[in-house]
Amino acid sequence: MMSRSSSAPRLSLARGLAPALLAALLGVGWWVMACRESPAEHSAGTETSVSEPASADLYLEARRAMVKYQIAIRGIENPEVLAAMEQVPRHEFVPPEEVEQAYDDHPLPIGYGQTISQPYIVALMTELLAVERGDKVLEIGTGSGYQAAVLAQLTDEVYTVEIIPELAASAAERLQRLGYTQIHTKTADGYYGWPDHAPFDAIIVTAAPDHVPPPLIEQLKDGGRLVIPVGPPGGYQTLWRITKSGGEVVSENITGVIFVPLVRGGR
Ligand code: SAH
């Protein structure tokens, strides 16, 4: 299964296998799983054709199935968000041993006790942010860089802060390799936001603090949106959308979620 974790799938491999065998190996798994109502246990498959060019994206069908059966079906409607989820190669953002599950309906470990969120949660939070092209967006909790890459499909200026230096470094390297030059990364405690680039049109927090960090409200533009899980570490949290409007701060309770905790460190 090495070919499935390769970042540059090669056509010669596809030519070397009979199409039926290829479908059995790569295609049927995700299709069967994607049609089930319960979350898939395995899968992240691909489907391809021997007539596709060498640059063909072997995971495109898996992404389309993810968008259809995990995201659109749960009510995400914004066509730009759906397109972004279809475009970003999620399998590039997970460790090699998780590649086969990259498009499954659950979070995955990314090392250091952290996780890349379930695809639906990424899409939901992205839709709630209501990003428009030209918006300046801040993410707290870079992790793998996946959420930042999804945001970069929607606007040209994305800032992302990560507290674990090793994760920040590997995400920065990955984002650069994949061509996401509009994403700016920094290692710091995101509780304080990124004052040098404030104010932001939208701020997304992908780790859960037990209260809303005041600096993040301060760094929102008027009309800006903050999407953030808030609650006790190790328990359920509430996902909030907080909007700043004419000096007022309005909070909407969206749903219950489970995130890794926002940990505190130096500035
Ligand atoms: N958005 C990520 C997943 C986030 S997991 C992705 O798409 O892959 C949550 C991340 O928040 C972890 O990487 C964790 O190290 C980071 N984190 C926790 N506390 C933080 C803090 N105070 N400041 C910045 N990052 C933090």
Separation of CA 187 and ligand 1 centre (Å): 10
The span from the CA of 171 to the CA of 191, in Å, is: 19
d(CA 129, CA 137): 9
Tell me the C-alpha distance between 26 and 16, whole Å.
14
Residues 124-174 pLDDT 10s: 999 999 999 999 999 999 999 999 999 999 999 999 999 999 999 999 999
Instruction: Give distance in angstroms: CA of 122 to centre of ligand 1.
Output: 13
**In a 10 Å sphere around its CB, with 0-12 CB exposed, 13-18 middle and 19+ buried, how is residue 211 labelled?**
exposed
- Gap from CA of 160 to ligand 1 centroid (Å): 9
Task: Sketch out the chain's domains with CATH numbers.
Answer: 11-104 (no CATH), 110-257 (3.40.50.150)
Say yes or no: CB of residue 262 within 6 Å of ligand 1.
yes
Residue whose token pair is 């639906």? 120
- Compute the average pLDDT of residues 212-217: 98
pLDDT recorded at residue 234: 86
Pocket probe mutation, ligand 1, options 163, 194, 239, max atoms within 8 Å of Cβ = 163
Establish whether residue 114 lines the binding site of ligand 1, counting it when its CB lies within 6 angstroms of any ligand atom.
yes
The predicted structure's pLDDT at residue 127: 98
- Nearest atom, ligand 1, residue 112 CA: 15
Mean pLDDT of the residues in the chain: 84
Closest residue CA from atom 4 of ligand 1: 143
Say whether pLDDT at 51 is over 80.
Answer: no
Shortest-distance Cα residue to atom 19 of ligand 1: 262
249 has which bridge partners?
244
Given a contact cutoff of 8 angstroms between Cβ atoms, the answer to whether 169 and 111 are in contact is no
Per-residue pLDDT tens over the stretch 27-50 = 333 332 322 223 333 333 344 444
Any idea which residues carry the catalytic annotation?
Answer: 117
140 CA from centroid of ligand 1 (Å): 6
pLDDT-derived band of residue 112, with 50, 70 and 90 as boundaries? Answer: very high
The residue with tokens 């489907």 is 47
From the CB of 163, is ligand 1 less than 6 Å away?
yes
Q: Identify whether 199 is preceded by a cis peptide bond (ω within 30 of 0).
A: yes
Gap from CA of 144 to ligand 1 centroid (Å): 9
- Ligand 1 in contact with 160 (CB < 6 A)? no
The C-alpha atoms of residue 172 and residue 191 are separated, in whole angstroms, by 20
Helices (DSSP H) in 67-164: which residue ranges? Answer: 79-87, 119-129, 146-152
Contact 111, 142 (CB under 8 A): no
Residue 61 in tokens? 């069908």
**And the tokens for 72?**
């659109």
In angstroms, the CA 88 to CA 147 distance is 9
Q: What is the pLDDT of residues 61-93, one digit of tens each?
A: 999 999 999 999 999 999 999 999 999 999 999
Q: Which tokens go with 197?
A: 């680039």
